[in-house]
Amino acid sequence: MTDDQTLVYASRRLRTAPAIGMLIALSYAVLAVLLPSPSIFLRWLLLALVCPMLAISVYQQIMLGFTSIEISAVGIAIRYWRFSTVTLEWSDVTEFYPKRLLGRDHVAFTYSPAYKAKLRQKRLAGFKVGMLPDTYGFTADALAGLLNERKMAAVGG
């Protein structure tokens, strides 16, 4: 929390698929180094296959695994690591609601008609709903409730 009007929540959760990928890649790297075979070619081949897998897993875990949400009187800002920020004003969103997708609870939101018109101008007219990348330590119901509460307080309705 930064002040009375702005709340900041960060996600630092371990993503299981990249973590499993890192463990598999590391086990292959250890195997390549400790392999009793006299073939140096086989060792280099294993390392050549492992390094890209390890790099992709680390990228997914570290770069894509960290997001934060800033909830202010103006709207929300979702930051993905330090590379990009998606900002939505309260007037851009009609409502927030919990949604289950692929076995996980998320917070989805419906774009307002005015924001949909902006999307049409950008040739992104197919998007009617959006979804937050994480629940930031909340349950989906609690985060949706907090966002709807802050939206109502900001727009007065």
Domain ranges of the chain: 16-63, 68-155
Q: Which CA distances in Å does 150 have to 5, 139, 143?
A: 10, 17, 11
Does the domain made of 68-155 have the CATH classification 1.10.1060?
no
Model confidence, pTM: 0.62
- Digits of tens for pLDDT over the chain (157 positions)? 444 566 676 665 555 555 666 677 777 777 767 766 667 777 777 778 777 777 777 776 666 557 788 888 889 988 876 677 888 899 888 999 999 988 888 899 988 887 776 766 555 555 567 888 888 888 999 999 999 999 998 887 5
What tokens appear for 117 in the block? 């018109």
Can you tell me the distance from the alpha carbon of 125 to that of 144, in angstroms, rounded to the nearest whole number?
A: 24
Q: Are strands 75-80 and 7-11 parallel, antiparallel or unpaired?
A: unpaired
Can you tell me the distance from the alpha carbon of 135 to that of 97, in angstroms, rounded to the nearest whole number?
A: 12
Q: Is 151 exposed, middle or buried (0-12, 13-18, 19+ CB in 10 A)?
A: buried
Tell me if residue 65 falls in helix, strand or coil: coil
pLDDT of residue 97: 93
**What is the residue type of 59?**
Y
Q: How many CB atoms lie within 10 A of CB 67?
A: 19
Can you tell me the distance from the alpha carbon of 89 to that of 133, in angstroms, rounded to the nearest whole number?
A: 17
69: β partners: 9, 78
